[in-house]
């Protein structure tokens, strides 16, 4: 298992980790397999989406903020209930095929670490099999 460290600088931030994951796949030397990427945090998540147009990420963040606003009178009193809900909706893992030594992503796809309660330093675990 490998680990990458991610430092966010804002409360809500999507950080493209595609190049870091690709580097690990290359270093591991697996030609055919599966890459599991897992986020062990309850107020952050992982998703695959377009990384060519930054407006896509802004639209996702904006829509999540409208659907699940911060400070909307949640029962969880620590002030980050919205982050827990957003993390649950986005999910905490993604799985990708490795073929011919390459991550199989679509032309416009990237892997994003989704911070919902930053700024923080976080970990992401990567298992290649």
Can you give the CATH number for the domain in which 66 is found? Answer: 2.60.120.460
When the pLDDT of each residue in the chain is averaged and rounded to a whole number, the result is: 97
User: Which tokens is 44 given?
Assistant: 């952050």
| Domain ranges, residue 106 | 2-128
Q: How many domains does the chain have?
A: 1
Residue 73, pLDDT > 90, answer no
Mean pLDDT to the nearest integer, 104-111 = 98
- Percentage of residues in the chain having pLDDT higher than 90: 93
SS (H, E, C) the chain: CEEEEEECCCCCEEEECHHHHHHHHHHHCCCEEEEEEECCCCCEEEEEEECCCHHHHHHHHHHHHHHCCCCCCCCCCCCCHHHHHHHHHHCCEEEEEEECCEECCCCCEEEEEEECCCCCEEEEEEEEC
- Percentage of residues in the chain having pLDDT higher than 70: 100
Residue 107, pLDDT > 90, answer yes
Mean pLDDT to the nearest integer, 72-100 = 95
Residue 71, pLDDT > 90, answer no
């Amino acid at each position: 298992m490998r680990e990458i460290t991610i430092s966010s600088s804002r409360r809500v931030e999507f950080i493209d980790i595609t190049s870091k994951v690709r580097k690990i796949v290359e270093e591991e030397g697996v030609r055919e397999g599966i890459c599991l990427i897992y986020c062990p945090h309850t107020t952050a998540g992982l998703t695959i989406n377009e990384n060519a147009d930054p407006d896509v990420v802004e639209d996702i963040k904006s829509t999540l903020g409208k659907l699940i606003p911060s400070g909307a009178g949640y029962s969880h009193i620590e002030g980050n209930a919205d982050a827990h809900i957003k993390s649950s909706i986005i999910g905490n893992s993604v799985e990708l095929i490795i073929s011919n030594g390459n991550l199989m992503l679509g032309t416009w796809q990237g892997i994003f670490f989704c911070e919902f309660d930053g700024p923080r330093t976080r970990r992401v675990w990567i298992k290649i099999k």
